[in-house]
Amino acid sequence: MGDAFVGRGLELSMLETCLAEARGGSGRLAWISGEAGIGKTRLAEELQRRVRDAIKKIAQHDATLGRHLELSVRTGVFCVYAPTWPD
């Protein structure tokens, strides 16, 4: 997956919008479809790379939340994250 990502800016932008809306609390489902060989898998991989990069940045500030998000992405199981803050 080391190749530069080109030619799918509009589609990636639409997926990132869905992701932003989901982060805001609105459930989202995105369906990627098309003929064989047009880049569906590469598009999904690029979105996944961007999500993982964002999680790494979050983990630099909150390691517990970063681990929670990484596990959620890996397993597809999402739940509410409610940290216990020290008094």
Q: Could you tell me the pTM of the whole model? A: 0.66
Q: How far apart are CA 39 and CA 15, in angstroms?
A: 14
**For residue range 9-62, what is the model confidence (pLDDT) as tens digits?**
888 888 888 888 877 777 777 888 889 988 888 888 888 888 888 888 888 988
Query: How is the chain split into domains, by residue range?
Result: 9-75
Residue 81: pLDDT band with limits 50, 70, 90 = low
Residue 78: pLDDT band with limits 50, 70, 90 = low
CB atoms within 10 A of CB 47: 20
Q: How far apart are CA 79 and CA 61, in angstroms?
A: 20
What pLDDT score was predicted for residue 16?
A: 87
SS3 86: coil
